[in-house]
Structure 1
Amino acid sequence: MATNTCAQSAESVYIRGIYSKDEFKTPVTGTLANFGRPGYGTQLLGELRYHWGHSGCSATDYTENLFENVSAGVGNILLLHHGAAANCSVIDMALKAQENGHADACVIIDELTTSDELPGTLAHSGDKHDYLSSLMLTIPVILATFEVGAALAYYAQTEGHLVEIDFQSSREKTYSTTVDVQFWSGSFGCDTAQCHLSDRFLHRLSENLLWLEHNNRIRFTPRYTVYTCPSGYDETACNGQCLSGGRYCSLHPGYAGYTGRNVILLSLHSLCVHSVLNSTGAPWMWHSWLNNFKYQCTMESGNFNVNCSDRIFTELGTHPTELDAVHECVGDEDGVHPLLEENEEERVRQNVVYHPTLVADGVQYRGSLNETTASQFICSAFSADYGKPPICQPERTFGLCDIGQEGSQACAMNPFGATTCVEKKSGFYDCECPAGYEGPTTFIPGGHKVLISECRKVNHCKTHCLGDDMSCTNLIEGYTCSCHNGGNYLETEDSCNIEKVSSSTSLGAGAIIAIVFSVVILFVVMVAVLVKKITSMPDWLMATFKRFSALQEESPGASASSADAPPDEEAGAEDVSPSDEEPIPPTYQEATAAANNV
């Protein structure tokens, strides 16, 4: 078995000063961390802020004067020290820079590390606290040696702040349309949190891998870390965890009833399944086989075995001869296995020491176990001259903020209350404050960043509807303002237009009194005119009206009773007869017309 003799292959980034004169004309090199969000295939233009005299481990280290004169439209890049006196991990320092320093990227100087040791220093520590912290990191984290850090600090203090970080891959671009991709797992099966994390990462990434492989844009190969039984262990111990007398071993899976031997055997079986499917021209079907196996053939169900694997393989619609080819590939469990030999040689050549590890064209992925960032890493390996695959286009969205997806889950756990997930076209997402809240990062005119550590409820009534004649009600989104005395609130002027409303839409008490008085006067005048008309009628017209009224009171078809008439009038009625000289009384119509003409 070969031994590990070469340095680990890690992704490098280039940092150059925009206003550099001499020392900084040639870009300096940093190394990407195994956590955070590297912007693969992009460049970041930002102002470098040298955080001298503070550890960067406490929220109080990040004060507002750190962001004085920050230009609008550029990123905020913090340069921090992580030395022997630091009382926090690199991950914690990066998280503080992101949340309290509002950094878009951070460069951490490790005074005790050489360039050859950078990849190991940046590796995930495996600590549970560091792991939880790394999940919340959404910015690139770059580690620099003391020499590189000194050059950056000198530039930031003497020549200007503006720098460019180039995340374009340092690898040589492929001159074909296909990229070689390998995914390394610690073992095929185990019952630890790290194994579940690795499985979930590959499962989410498999959608893009399957599409790329089906369209001949990548050549994907699964890989597993295989150990040799150390010297000093007895044969019984080795046989329990190994095949071929200790030649190919895997760690104990951590689940009762299973050993490392079960794991290494299924690892070999997985490699053979991929090899056979690849020979049939359908290598992408391996992802379907794996996802079904991980779901149906679990240790907990007691189905973690070759029989379950064979059943899944058959359900894919494969030919029986292809299943025979898988068994032939596995061969004698305790024999020499060419696929495991090739696997180990490739591990040494690639110097894979961390799991899981994603490799594209010989360069190892750096960043958190995030399928979106990992997809960008693979996409950055394609040469633009040969055309990037459609899923690598910047306008594509990934549904990161959908319920149950990475973005929505991460934002739901945001410690500062930024629970609203907003997906960006670049394949990233931001956790922002919900409606009615502000922070943790906001801007004021001039592009200056205001330091806000957590989302706080917005009180619009502090700046609006402040007049003595107003009442303000704060809402989740916005506010309402009511004016006293029935006024109309003018939002653009933040005032009440009471006077205008009174003259155009309301009547005062004086106007109402004047109207009532006018109506009374008009009524009195009309009555007086009517009385005058009546009293000015001639005597003959009045007699006619009286006679007409008397006739109206008589019943139709009967004469007036003599008993009803006064005696004196009844006695003299027969003696009264008009003389020839009296005028003839007018008819009813003539009398009415005469009255109207008075």
Structure 2
Amino acid sequence: MGGRSPAAGWRCALLLLLLTTMAITAAEGRFVVEKNSLRVTSPAALRGVYECAIGNFGMPQYGGTMHGVVVYPKANRKGCMDFGDSGLSFKPKAGGLPVFLLVDRGDCYFTTKGWNAQTAGAAAVLVADDRAEPLITMDTPESAGKEHLENITVPSALVSKRFGDDLKTALENGDMVNVLLDWRESLPHPDERVEYEFWTNSNDECGAKCDMQMNFVRNFRGVAQVLEQRGYTQFAPHYITWYCPEAFILSKQCTSQCINHGRYCAPDPEQDFTTGYDGKDVVVQNLIQICLFKVANESRKPWLWWDYVHDFAIRCPMKEKKYTRDCANGVIKSLGMDIDKINTCVGDPDADEDNPVLKAEQDAQIGHGSRGDVTILPTFVVNNRQYRGKLDKRAVLRAICSGFEETTEPDICLTQDIQTNQCLENNGGCWLDNRNNFTACKDTFRGRVCECPIVNGVQFVGDGYTHCEASGVGRCQINNGGCWKETRNGKAVSACSNEESKGCKCPPGFKGDGIHSCDDIDECKEKLYCQCNGCSCENTWGSYECGCGGSSMLYIREHDTCVSKVANASVGWGFLWVIFFGLGFAGVGAYAVYKYRLRSYMDSEIRAIMAQYMPLENQDTSSHQRTVERADI
């Protein structure tokens, strides 16, 4: 084994990977093809919604849509050559729709087709399958080239052979084929928090994919940490391992690529068993990263995983022969993590027993519910649905943002480079109060919603499209609750009342709808008041004035009557004198009663005291008689 050539080592690695992949497949695993919808809007014969498979390269517009016109080239129909060589360009003219280039499957990599379509100016690439089969995921092979892997930004989709043939027939007949690519429901968005997983690897010698992964971690780290710290997301990293078939446990391939006696394996980083690091080194470093996350999560700081992975990639690269456990421990200490807890979690890689952490990782690889097996690295799983597309900060952030329920997404999801604010054009077709610039248009990641706003604590109610009005306490402070209001001669009158939760009502003295107008009621003309003999009526704005003939008469509004001012004064003073004298007599009477009762009380008290020292005559006789009686006894 020691003298095996690199090519022979690579063949052994492929054999091991094939055997272990077959073992996983036998465990009833399954691969789920992630899809988006394609809606044909014209011609009428093709109008409808069709499924297409999202490619594992480019940048799908998760949460959004893209409208374009389909073009099938007359030459280079498989898209394997540069379209510029034949002078073809698919850049739309000013005011034209984006071009979705339709190419045939076969003869070259999917990524090559996508790259050639992008460089020719196409906004998206549709690949028509060349065989009648269920849709598959277009992947990015290692040999496709770093240029294609990192630089393709247009979205891609695979369509079925039958649908592809229908598109070609329509185009050859001269029909203009308009389609809408729709990713709005490609990922679930049930609530205000997104749960996502990053399936990754600590190996940094896997070529273009490893380089892309390290760049992604460097760029996405800050965003991921902020989302996690503010409670918008719940994140977890995961790592793929395979187990060695029992018949090969003692082979060189398994002993060098696996730990725990063949239970957990990873491919050789250099694809050569004779040089550099082995697969088991990768498994151990993966295990350290999982355990660091578990310890950080228990201390409620899961975002420290991003710092560790970032720093480890810089400080402990394979190329510099620093991909060791000692180097990992140095990074852990620099972050202030509890290294003893992490080592306890890692356990003994040489033990002939299950490692509970890695066993849980292998179980997690198998798909559950709507999620299929995780077999492509690196990849994201957002709300239990696998992400497809380029591992790019903006593309992944779009996918995460599409996982939020409308109106609950964080501000970073509403920035201009992530989505288009539809409220900026024609107010999104929603209600708008031009006077105060109140709008029912609320920007969301998927577009906009027309929802009556809350302004200064006051809730507006209505359909959000044509009508919104303030409701509840304080509504009259905002645009007068949408009600009529007018001021004359310093007197303000309003049809809005805070005592009413909604609606407008003209106040007493006015009539109208309360919204556009309230007209003064002429109480005099309608003979509602001032109907007494001798009364005169004068209408005022919102009220009336009644008078009586002559200056000696006074009008009493409550009784609608006139009374004499003089009589009223006489009666008034006479009544006051009666009260005054009455109070005086009552006071004198009360004083006399008080003096009589006080004098009687004093007399009785004095008599009682004098009786103790100077007995009265009848008291002495009784005393003498009692003395004689005692002597007789």
Same-fold call, TM cutoff 0.5: yes
Compared CA separation, residues 233 and 286, structure 1 to 2 (3 A): same
Give the counterpart of 1:369 among 384, 391, 398: 391
Give the counterpart of 1:198 among 185, 197, 213: 213
Which residue number in structure 1 is paired with residue 356 of structure 2? 338
Task: State the 1:247 CA deviation.
Answer: 0.4
Amino acid of the structure 2 residue aligned with 1:75: P
Residues 12, 169 of structure 1: 8 Å contact kept: no
Residues 52, 80 of structure 1: 8 Å contact kept: no
Deviations 1:426-475 (A, max 9, x none): 9xxxxxxxxxxxxxxxxxxxxxxxxxxxxxxxxxxxxxxxxxxxxxxxxx
Say which SS state the counterpart of residue 228 (structure 2) adopts: helix
Amino acid of the structure 1 residue aligned with 2:243: T
**2:106 matches 1:90:** no
Structure 2 unaligned blocks of 5 or more? 1-22, 420-444, 446-633
Which residue number in structure 2 is paired with residue 327 of structure 1? 343
Which residue number in structure 2 is paired with residue 547 of structure 1? none
How does 1:532-571 map onto structure 2 within 5 Å?
Answer: none
Output the CA distance in 2 between the equivalents of 1:230 and 1:160. 56
Which residue number in structure 2 is paired with residue 140 of structure 1? 155
**2:190 matches 1:174:** yes
Give the counterpart of 2:139 among 123, 143, 152: 123
How does 1:120-519 map onto structure 2 within 5 Å?
Answer: 122-129=138-145, 131-156=146-171, 157=173, 160-175=176-191, 177-185=192-200, 187-193=201-207, 194-233=209-248, 235=250, 237=252, 238-254=254-270, 256-318=275-337, 322-333=338-349, 334=351, 335-349=353-367, 350-385=372-407, 387-396=408-417
Kindly indicate whether structure 1 or structure 2 has the higher relative contact order, using CA contacts under 8 Å at least 6 residues apart.
Answer: 1
Amino acid of the structure 2 residue aligned with 1:18: T
Output the CA distance in 2 between the equivalents of 1:170 and 1:106. 18
Amino acid of the structure 2 residue aligned with 1:390: D
| Count of aligned pairs | 384
Which residue number in structure 2 is paired with residue 412 of structure 1? none
Following TM superposition, the consecutive aligned residue runs of length 4 or more in structure 1 with deviations greater than 6 angstroms are 61-71
Structure 1 unaligned blocks of 5 or more? 399-425, 427-598
Deviations 1:289-343 (A, max 9, x none): 121122122334444333332332222234xxx3322122122322322221111
Amino acid of the structure 1 residue aligned with 2:281: N
Compared CA separation, residues 165 and 60, structure 1 to 2 (3 A): closer
Residues 232, 410 of structure 2: 8 Å contact kept: yes
Task: State the 1:361 CA deviation.
Answer: 1.4
Give the counterpart of 1:33 among 55, 69, 76: 55
Output the CA distance in 1 between the equivalents of 2:344 and 2:224. 27
Amino acid of the structure 2 residue aligned with 1:80: V
TM-score of the two chains, using structure 1 as the length reference? 0.59
Say which SS state the counterpart of residue 218 (structure 2) adopts: helix
Deviations 1:233-280 (A, max 9, x none): 252522322111100112223394532222211211111110011011
CA RMSD of aligned residues (A): 3.0
**2:100 matches 1:77:** yes
Amino acid of the structure 2 residue aligned with 1:283: P
Say which SS state the counterpart of residue 281 (structure 1) adopts: coil
Identity %: 24
Which residue number in structure 1 is paired with residue 41 of structure 2? 18
Task: State the 1:123 CA deviation.
Answer: 0.7
Output the CA distance in 2 between the equivalents of 1:395 and 1:41. 15
Output the CA distance in 2 between the equivalents of 1:66 and 1:6. 44
Compared CA separation, residues 67 and 179, structure 1 to 2 (3 A): closer
Output the CA distance in 2 between the equivalents of 1:72 and 1:9. 39
Amino acid of the structure 1 residue aligned with 2:116: K
Output the CA distance in 2 between the equivalents of 1:389 and 1:215. 9
Compared CA separation, residues 170 and 234, structure 1 to 2 (3 A): closer
Amino acid of the structure 1 residue aligned with 2:202: F
Output the CA distance in 1 between the equivalents of 2:308 and 2:174. 59
Residues 187, 399 of structure 2: 8 Å contact kept: no
Task: State the 1:69 CA deviation.
Answer: 9.9
Compared CA separation, residues 172 and 154, structure 1 to 2 (3 A): farther
Task: State the 1:231 CA deviation.
Answer: 4.3
Amino acid of the structure 2 residue aligned with 1:11: E
Output the CA distance in 2 between the equivalents of 1:24 and 1:281. 52
